[in-house]
Copies of this chain bind each other. A is one copy, B any other.
Amino acid sequence: MRADEDNLYREQLPNVGSLIRDGGRKLCRPSTVTNKFPILTWLPRYRLEYIMQDFIAGFTVGLTTIPQAIAYGVVAGLEPQYGLYSAFMGCFTYIVFGSCKDVTIATTAIMALMVNQYATISPDYAVLVCFLAGCTVLLLGLLNMGVLVRFISIPVITGFTMAAATTIGSAQINNIVGLTSPSNDLLPAWKNFFTHLTSLRVWDALLGVSSLVFLLLMTRVKDIKWGNRIFWKYLGLSRNALAVIFGTFLAYILSRDGHQPFRVTGNITAGVPPFRLPPFSTTVDGEYVSFGEMLSTVGASLGSIPLISILEIVAISKAFSKGKIVDASQEMVALGMCNIMGSFVLSMPVTGSFTRTAVNNASGVKTPLGGAVTGALVLMALAFLTQTFYFIPKCTLAAIIIAAMISLVELHKIKDMWKSKKKDLFPFVVTVITCMFWSLEYGILCGIAANMVYILYSSARPHVDIKLEKINGHEVSVVDVKQKLDYASAEYLKEKVVRFLNHQNGETQLVVIKGEEINSIDYTVAMNIVSMKGDLEALNCAMICWNWNIASAGVVCRLNNDLRPIFKFDLSLEEVVAGHFDSPSNTASTVTIEA
């Protein structure tokens, strides 16, 4: 049974991948359409018995999504209904384009935080960014740029998530005790908390802190061995909904003459948002703001929001795809479409949410169709429940956010890095510090750059072995290049050979460079090979390139045709050496290098 269900996905996905990874050469195959629309693969095979599972999962996710959406609307600095606007279109769109059954699309705390800076000016900015980010992600997906996220290593992802979660959670530390904070930044939020702690609102603090304790305890109830396991599991999964229902109920019955003991969410505009074009211009304080001005306001977000949203969805889909291949590019196409479609219903940028995806998975979802139930639930909430949402206490929302953020701070990974490979702590620390104290946008870039230093450094230090061998009675220096060469390593090879010869004091008269492992070389390497020949001549030493691949030899020979004779292909090392010292004329290779 389980194997069958897996197959439903397994058979579909390799096609997607191989198509795109083969550089589009198979683009004419009929499977292209089904690859870009995974629904065409799984829907025809949909079985009736999946419906119940998908419904339960979708419903459970909905119960998590609605309170989170309202909370993240607040994190973004928007009215709460914008969180709900962002929570349904993604679910529907992902059914068509998504390739991972568990992934659930809506706005996340990090997305909300990243739009906050201009969403507070006007919601139109958030919607426009949603549209533009969607277009960017879609384009990158179609161009198969999924490979980009490979350059974000786990230490950098961990550091970024930790820093973002700490920042978001810290901003809510004021709301949970009924204080208002002037800033969403880390240090100002804590400063405000400590300077205004004496003026906290007791009722808010009580409800907020107890909600937080409740939520944290409820993450553990799934492990209860007593009674019906299923009951405990779904109780745990519904914890956010329970906290909100309880808080709202309390606020409602304790309210008198419009006075509540708690700071509540307040009026939420009722109704489903209209379906219309995203705003390409807006009005702020009565003044017209053009598209160009809006663009310059959102600035760097147009790069970072697509990047982070891709990162989130790819990381999540990979985490929930044991034994299957996640086609990052198709996930990007799906995410791009979700954002583009979302921007038509006033959504802010959305991506895969780890919490809700985990709930979806734990609830045993079978296909992406579960998302339809979640989406429908959010739409119904918008249509019928907004008056109830008026009474949701802000401190309850803060507790929900903080509980979610605590689960994102994975301190054990720091220990793992320390144990496993200490040097990986460097990009981690760079990411955490720059994200926390500078900005999330630039912080992750700093982390990526810091980590790239390792790749670049190692490319400048290729693995090259040089040995003095006695072949046919001649001392020959055999250079074994174990790795591909590029411009950064070009000098290194030359230096290493010349240094080796300098230490030999002229005993070696022939250097053989074995090139089996050299896949390809560039112009700079070729230039260095040419100049190395000159260097070796100055040291009274000849040079032979043995068993290079034809392509690499071609790069050198097209640069300097005189070097053609130094490439030997179809002879053994002994023959090459014997030929060089004894009968040079006999040792021409029969392999021809293209001109």
The closest CB in chain B to the CB of A422 belongs to B523
A323 to chain B, nearest CB (A): 3
9-residue interface stretch from A113-121, A350-358, A532-540: A532-540
Cα–Cα, bound, A343→B420 (Å): 48
Asked if B486 and A419 sit within 8 Å, CB to CB, the answer is no
Cα–Cα, bound, A14→B454 (Å): 27
Find chain B residues with CB under 8 A from A495 CB: 17, 325
Asked if A451 and B487 sit within 8 Å, CB to CB, the answer is yes
- A231 contacts partner chain B, Cβ-Cβ < 8 Å: no
- A580 contacts partner chain B, Cβ-Cβ < 8 Å: no
- A492 contacts partner chain B, Cβ-Cβ < 8 Å: yes
Query: Total interface residues on A, using CB and 8 Å?
Result: 67
Find chain B residues with CB under 8 A from A6 CB: 538
Asked if B14 and A503 sit within 8 Å, CB to CB, the answer is yes
SS of A interface (majority)? helix
Asked if A555 and B421 sit within 8 Å, CB to CB, the answer is yes
Find chain B residues with CB under 8 A from A459 CB: 455, 459
A540 to chain B, nearest CB (A): 8
Partner of A499, one of B14, B460, B539: B14
Q: Which of A451, A495, A503 has the most CB of B within 10 A?
A: A495
- A467 contacts partner chain B, Cβ-Cβ < 8 Å: no
- A458 contacts partner chain B, Cβ-Cβ < 8 Å: yes
CB-CB under 8 A for A420 and B559, given A455-B488, A519-B463, A522-B454 = yes
- A153 contacts partner chain B, Cβ-Cβ < 8 Å: yes
Find chain B residues with CB under 8 A from A229 CB: none
Asked if B458 and A150 sit within 8 Å, CB to CB, the answer is no
A244 to chain B, nearest CB (A): 35
A96 to chain B, nearest CB (A): 24
Asked if A535 and B14 sit within 8 Å, CB to CB, the answer is no
- A201 contacts partner chain B, Cβ-Cβ < 8 Å: no
Asked if A460 and B524 sit within 8 Å, CB to CB, the answer is no
Asked if A325 and B153 sit within 8 Å, CB to CB, the answer is no
Partner of A524, one of B424, B452, B519, B521: B424
The closest CB in chain B to the CB of A528 belongs to B154
Partner of A502, one of B10, B491, B537, B539: B10
Cα–Cα, bound, A454→B520 (Å): 12
Partner of A153, one of B14, B456, B487, B503: B487
- A155 contacts partner chain B, Cβ-Cβ < 8 Å: yes
- A558 contacts partner chain B, Cβ-Cβ < 8 Å: yes
- A474 contacts partner chain B, Cβ-Cβ < 8 Å: no
Cα–Cα, bound, A535→B320 (Å): 11
The closest CB in chain B to the CB of A521 belongs to B421
The interface bits of chain A over 479-502 (1 if a CB of B lies within 8 angstroms of the residue's CB, else 0) are 000111011111110010011001
- A469 contacts partner chain B, Cβ-Cβ < 8 Å: no
Find chain B residues with CB under 8 A from A491 CB: 150, 318
The closest CB in chain B to the CB of A146 belongs to B491
Give the top 3 A-B pairs by smallest Cβ distance, nearest first: A323-B538, A153-B487, A424-B523
Binding site for B on A (CB under 8 A): 6, 10, 13-14, 17-18, 147, 150-151, 153-155, 318, 322-325, 416-417, 419-421, 423-424, 451-452, 454-460, 463, 482-484, 486-492, 495, 498-499, 502-503, 517, 519, 521-524, 526-527, 534-539, 555-556, 558-559
- Apart from A150-B460, A154-B527, A318-B491, list 13 A-B contacts with CB within 8 A: A151-B456, A153-B488, A322-B538, A323-B537, A323-B538, A324-B498, A325-B498, A325-B502, A416-B523, A419-B559, A455-B459, A459-B459, A483-B483
